[in-house]
Amino acid sequence: MQKSNSPLSSLNELGQSFWIDYIDRDLLETGQLNNMIEQDGLSGLTSNPSIFEKVISTTNNYDIDLKKAAAKNPSGSPQEWFEEVAIRDIRQAADTLKNVYETTNMQDGYVSLEVSPLIARDTKTTIEEARRLWSRVGRNNLMIKVPATEEGFPAIEQLISESINVNVTLIFSLEQYKKTAQSYIKGLSKVPAPNQVASVASFFVSRVDTKVDALLEKINKNTSKQLEGKTAIANARNAYKLFYDFFESPDFLKLKQKGAQAQRLLWGSTSTKNPNYSDTLYIDQLIGTSTVNTIPPATVDAFRDHGQATITLDKNSSANDNTISGLTALGINLEQVCAELLEEGLTAFSDSYIGLLEAVSTKGSE
């Protein structure tokens, strides 16, 4: 099938991979995922507890399978019942994307599954759960999602050293990103065949603007108004500068000679929360080579309709610096904001996971 003329299909030509931030039985079984691969250049899929909670709680797409899982394992926990149906979807998505994985030489074609957010502060259990999920899914184009916490970094290093693909999630700050890249490179240095493992660093975007804009509104100065809606883009673009520092460094170039891939930045949380901003803001302004944008369905539709596919990540370097220095001058500590966002993100995903298990328990027992 011929690719469409949508801006989505142009992202690959500009060096950016388009992944969808969503999973649902309908997406897999109606042929929609296949159509997006063929028409829009879709090359990956991510999931998280909030996505699974929403589709299991608000649709009946999983009701029959959850009842079957409970009947098959009546003494099992809701987590076990959930995994039974979720892993089926993850495997099916991975199989659908297998051709992308092979034709891109393992750069794309990945499906992400997250370890329980309830263990985000436990290094040992995170490693054990990641190994278990990796083995259970049994697909080389799986990525295990691990949060970028202090306890997560040694887990990331260990998993990479075992050739387990990792999607490092909930990155908000430059300091988190530095530790993420360092963990990946350290892990890679222990792998006999570094060309057989891949990772992405999921740098979250829109939530930064939501939190900073609320602080700017309280300050109520002309300067603060001018900074609204600019922090997230500036923060992400500064991370992109660091990406080149890490992956053009002598430490990584030695690994690259053995076929190692750079750990690409993946833009996460790219739906626009403020109705006064463009609904494609966090796509339009973050297009550049060696990146991924994982996009939720509504934003996919918006960008397909009226997005602008052109390189933007290499622009406005001085404007980015002015934005960050402007925040500092107003007394806003971006690192502190990002630390709070990490805690809020962990709490939100944990709450979603608990809600998910409650919905699974109810539906499995009906």
Point out the residues that are catalytic: 145
User: 42-53 burial by CB neighbour count: b if 16+ within 10 A, else e?
Assistant: bbbbbbbbbbbb
As a whole number of angstroms, the distance between CA 332 and CA 334 comes to: 6
Q: What angle do CA 182, 184, 190 make, to 5 degrees?
A: 105
Taking every pair of Cα atoms in the chain, the longest distance, rounded to a whole number of angstroms, is: 63
As a whole number of angstroms, the distance between CA 263 and CA 179 comes to: 12
What secondary structure does DSSP assign to 96-110, as a single string? HTHHHHHHTTTSS-E
Nearest-10 crossing angle of helices 32-40, 78-96: 40
Q: Where are the beta strands (DSSP E) in the chain?
A: 16-21, 42-46, 110-114, 142-147, 166-171, 199-204, 264-268, 291-295
As a whole number of angstroms, the distance between CA 63 and CA 40 comes to: 31
As a whole number of angstroms, the distance between CA 301 and CA 282 comes to: 14
Nearest-10 crossing angle of helices 231-247, 174-188: 30
**Cβ–Cβ under 8 Å, residues 270 and 296:** yes
Contacts of 146 (CB under 8 A, 6+ apart): 115, 126, 130, 152, 155, 156, 159, 166, 167, 168, 169
Helices (H) and strands (E) in the chain, counts: 18, 8
